Amino acid sequence: MATKKVLLLGSGFVAQPTIDILSKEPGVELTVGCRHLESAKKLAQPGNKTVAVDASNQEELDKLVAQYDLAISLIPYIYHVNVVKAGIKGHTDVVTTSYISDAMRALEPEIKKAGIVVMNEIGLDPGIDHLYAVRAIHEAHAKGGKVTSFISFCGGLPAPEDSDNPLGYKFSWSARGVLLALQHTAHYYKDDKIVEVPAKDLMASAKPYLIYPGFALVSYPNRDSTTYRELYNIPEAQNCIRGTLRFQGFCEFVQVLVDLGFLKDAANPIFSEPIAWKDALSQYIGAKSNSAEDILAKVDSLTKYKSEEDKERVHAGIKWLGLLSDTKIHPRGNALDALCATMEDLMQFGPKERDLVVLQHKFVIEYPDGKKETKTSTLIDYGIPGGYSSMARTVGIPCAVACKLVLKHSGVYAKPGLYAPLTPEVAEPLLEDLKNDYGIFLVEKTL
């Protein structure tokens, strides 16, 4: 078999498992490409090639991608379209772990014309979640059943014993990505009616969610869940919601950050110089002075607390982040990125700490004979200190498995097109390989 040349673009948290797996794949020659060559060299395995590449430079990207059989885009999602355009031009297959965007969907005719496969949404969420939703729904329909309710929540978290800060959270991927995800209005179906939750109210809408009694989890909805009635072929679903899981206390604290304007990335001169956080915060929110007392009084006037306990926890959190101190900000030109830089300083996983992924689908199925059943599909996965984080494992390994299937060009993967694992034909091979070869699977139960 001729050697397949593969280009992996990206140096983020989840790239390493993909690199490690493909480096061991017979007949694959892997090149790691990053904006900075040193970043690529840190990730690369012996035998890999490395290259510096700027994904915002379309001409440079076109020339590079055309040299490969497959390009893997693990760079920020805003650049995926650039990679796909380069793939179309160079007749190069592409794999991403991100959602299919409208801009990507618009390229579908050109993708088919170029004769390439562009595979998306094959990480954790989206990714592994699709595989088990598609399987359960297909099985229910094959038995004549109707899926009247589909509820799915997923969270990347610290293990409970390592959730030792006011947010109960540490970053296993981009802090900016975590906070930007909270800027979107959510829509979902409840009792066959669309519920809208404006972004500013998203954290306040969080509710306790029981998966196992040992986890103090809360849930809130993600973006637009209403499309999944069509994507999962469940027009009969009265309830259809996909959302995020966090530990209790996270949402109350982030709601205060929202109320203070910290999720805004508009340019602001306050965050352009390395001044003390107490000066930056007092100026930004309009406190009387930079004293802790005046800053906290202003914070209290800008937000609402559900309880005195929440107020105390928020005050403690603001102090813990150093926002009342002489600690200098990282000048990033806007409130969001300055805060993210500080959070990333304080909220990384230590060498002996581990992260946790919790994912659960809950289906209510009604059958023609009137029988009704509730099924769950659940993943609880811990990272390994000194090894892969759970987030890296559950995103990077599915990505690698998808790459291997695309490289083989067998079955549905032999047909040019724009794909996500939303049909049994696409999902089943991925599900089986992940379970059999890597031990990644959801535990399915009928309650």
On the CB side of 322, how many CA atoms lie within 13 Å of its CA?
A: 18
- Alpha carbons 427 and 446: distance in angstroms, whole number: 22
> What are phi and psi for residue 431, nearest 5 degrees?
-60, -45
- Alpha carbons 185 and 350: distance in angstroms, whole number: 34
Question: Which residues, at least 6 apart from 414, have a Cβ–Cβ distance to it below 8 Å?
Answer: none
Residue 10 near residue 34 (C-beta atoms within 8 A): yes
- Alpha carbons 291 and 293: distance in angstroms, whole number: 5
Question: Which residues, at least 6 apart from 433, have a Cβ–Cβ distance to it below 8 Å?
Answer: 401, 404, 405
- DSSP-derived secondary structure letter, 228: H
The DSSP annotation for 260-299 comes to HTTT--S--GGGSS--BHHHHHHHHHT-SSSSHHHHHHHH
Q: Which residues pair with 382 in a beta bridge?
A: 356
- Alpha carbons 219 and 206: distance in angstroms, whole number: 5
Residue 88 near residue 101 (C-beta atoms within 8 A): no
- What residues are labeled active site? 125
CA-to-CA dists, residue 426 to 96, 128, 276, 318, 413, angstroms: 15, 12, 53, 46, 8
Count of all residues that appear for the chain in the document: 447
